[in-house]
């Protein structure tokens, strides 16, 4: 058997060599100046590469065919498991594509000497979202590396999709459902944030600013939506004492952290640092979005931008989302880097009584 295989391989090589030699002579590329050894090396090189490409294409086609048959079998016999399997595969494809996009953005930043705040909005948002996703996805990727461990991942996906998986691995129905859950958890901190502002307002010495802050809190607590001018009228209180980023009480920071989906279970100084970093990132995103224009976002990007800034946008129309985001950008475009605290509190001011009134707490 081994002899026949070696004989067959030698004949195939001879046929390929003769065919290549004939092609060279036919096309007028044969030259007496080329030595026989060079021609033989060239023929061997092309022959080997063609064989390798042929084997690669054959193996790839067979694997694709096997995968199609396997998916067809799952879809026919185990439709619920197939749904999980398909979501899992598509999720990894999206995650790898995001990794390629982020790598391209990083190369661009290095070659053009750009900072994050110099990037266009979509690239800046891609970096922010990928960083958050990959931190949560690392355990899932590590679990799926050993052979047959992907079945354990399927079990986790089935029982704990919201807690363990990133949105890449959620079905469209789960994405809407989980965003509603996350927003309801976030909305539970609206009232404590307003109560903290009311407490601090009693220590404001400027009578006019004290009255404006109390009136702003009362309006939101009574179900009203403040105007941008009413929010900006108290901006001086949020750039220094008593509500600046470095002057806020720790309890107030612990209630603001969940508004950005950050854990409040950290020491006070770490919470302050994280809030400051994320607030600055949000302000830079707003500036990039203002340069782009909110009307340039598609429906998915628009709803994602509103949700990140505190609004449960799934039950709103596209026009309502766009109108709300325009109001937010009108407010944030007027703020300085020293007024980041007001940007964070505006998540409550502008979204606590948004049209999704059923989510209020």
Residue 222 lies in a domain: yes
Based on the domain organization, do 81 and 135 belong to the same domain?
yes
Q: What sign for the dihedral angle of Cα 249, 254, 258, 261?
A: positive
| CA separation for the pair 331, 347 (Å, rounded) | 11
Are 294 and 275 a contacting pair, CB within 8 Å? Answer: no
- How much of the chain is in helix, strand and coil states, percent to nearest 5? 80, 0, 20
- Same domain for 221 and 251, yes or no, is yes
Residue 242: asked if its preceding bond is cis (omega within 30°), the reply is yes
Contact 176, 304 (CB under 8 A): no
Judge if 211 and 284 occupy the same domain.
yes
CB 20 within 8 Å of CB 46: yes
27 in any annotated domain: no
- State how far the Cα of 71 lies from the Cα of 55, in Å rounded to an integer: 24
- What's the token pair of residue 26? 């036919």
Indicate the angle between helix axes 318-332 and 299-308, nearest 10 degrees: 50
Q: Is residue 339 part of a domain?
A: yes
The count of structural domains within the chain is 2
Q: Are residues 196 and 138 in the same domain?
A: no
CB burial class (10 A; 0-12, 13-18, 19+) of residue 354?
buried
pTM: 0.76
283 shares a domain with 238: yes
> Is the CB of residue 350 less than 8 Å from the CB of residue 327?
yes
The domain of 111 spans: 77-170
Q: For residue 97, is it within any domain?
A: yes
Burial class, 215, CB count within 10 angstroms (exposed 0-12 / middle 13-18 / buried 19+): middle
Q: H helices then E strands: how many in the chain? A: 15, 0
Do 161 and 309 fall into the same domain? Answer: no
Same domain, 213 and 307: yes
Compute the residue count for the chain: 361
Residues 264 and 341 in one domain: yes
- Token representation of residue 315: 């039950």
> Domain for residue 194, yes or no?
yes
pLDDT tens per residue across span 48-103: 666 666 777 767 776 677 667 766 766 667 677 777 777 878 888 898 999 999 99
What is the distance between the alpha carbons of residues 239 and 213, in angstroms, rounded to a whole number?
14
Evaluate the CA torsion angle 269, 275, 281, 284 in order and state its sign: negative
pLDDT of residue 163: 86
User: Six-digit token pair at 238?
Assistant: 């949020």
DSSP assignment of 262-279 equals --S-S-HHHHHHHHHHHH
Per-residue model confidence as pLDDT tens for the chain (361 residues): 333 333 433 443 433 333 434 343 344 434 444 455 544 444 454 456 666 667 777 677 766 776 677 667 666 676 777 777 778 788 888 989 999 999 999 999 999 999 999 999 999 999 999 999 988 878 777 877 777 676 777 777 778 889 888 898 888 889 999 999 999 999 999 999 999 999 999 999 999 999 999 999 999 999 999 999 999 999 999 998 899 999 899 999 999 999 999 999 999 999 999 999 999 999 999 999 999 999 999 999 999 999 999 999 998 999 999 999 999 999 999 999 999 999 999 999 999 998 653 343 3
DSSP string for 89-143: HHHHHHHHHHHHHHHHHHHHHHHHT--GGGS-HHHHHHHHHHHHHHHHHHHHHHH
Q: Answer whether residue 35 is part of any domain.
A: no
Which of 127, 145, 170 is the C-terminal boundary of a domain? 170
Identify whether 81 is part of a domain.
Answer: yes
Do 157 and 240 belong together in one domain?
A: no
- Evaluate whether residue 44 is within a structural domain: no
Residues 233 and 267 in one domain: yes
Does 222 lie in the same domain as 132? no
Based on the fold, state whether residues 89 and 220 are members of the same structural domain: no
């Amino acid at each position: 058997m081994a002899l026949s295989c070696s004989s067959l391989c030698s004949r195939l090589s001879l046929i390929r060599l003769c065919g290549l030699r004939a092609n060279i002579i036919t096309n007028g590329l044969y030259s007496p100046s080329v030595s026989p050894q060079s021609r033989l090396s060239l023929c061997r090189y092309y022959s080997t590469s063609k064989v390798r490409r042929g084997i690669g294409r054959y193996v790839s086609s067979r694997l694709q065919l096997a995968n199609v048959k396997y998916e067809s079998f799952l879809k026919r016999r185990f439709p619920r498991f197939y749904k999980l399997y398909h979501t899992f595969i598509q999720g990894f494809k999206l995650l790898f594509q995001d990794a390629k996009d982020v790598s391209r953005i990083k190369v661009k930043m290095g070659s053009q000497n750009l900072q994050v705040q110099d990037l266009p909005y979509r690239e800046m948002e891609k970096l922010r979202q990928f960083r958050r996703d990959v931190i949560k996805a690392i355990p899932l990727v590590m679990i799926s590396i050993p052979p047959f461990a992907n079945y354990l991942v399927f079990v986790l996906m089935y029982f704990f999709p919201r807690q363990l998986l990133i949105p890449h691995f959620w079905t469209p129905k789960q994405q809407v459902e989980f965003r509603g859950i996350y927003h309801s958890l976030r909305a539970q901190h609206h009232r404590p944030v307003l109560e903290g502002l009311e407490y601090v307002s009693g220590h404001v010495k400027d009578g006019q600013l004290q009255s404006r802050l109390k009136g702003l809190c009362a309006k939101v607590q009574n179900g009203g939506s403040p105007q941008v001018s009413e929010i900006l009228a108290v901006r001086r209180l949020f750039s220094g004492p008593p509500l600046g980023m470095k002057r806020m009480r720790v309890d107030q920071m612990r209630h603001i952290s969940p508004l950005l989906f950050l854990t409040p279970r950290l020491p006070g100084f770490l919470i302050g640092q994280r809030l400051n970093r994320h607030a600055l990132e949000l302000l830079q995103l707003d500036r990039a979005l203002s340069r782009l224009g909110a009307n340039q976002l598609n429906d998915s990007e628009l709803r994602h931008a509103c949700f990140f800034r505190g609004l449960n946008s799934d039950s709103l129309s596209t026009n309502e989302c766009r109108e709300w985001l325009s109001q937010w950008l009108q407010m944030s475009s007027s703020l300085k880097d020293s007024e980041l605290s007001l940007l964070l509190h505006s998540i409550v001011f502008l979204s606590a009584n948004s049209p999704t009134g059923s989510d209020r707490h």
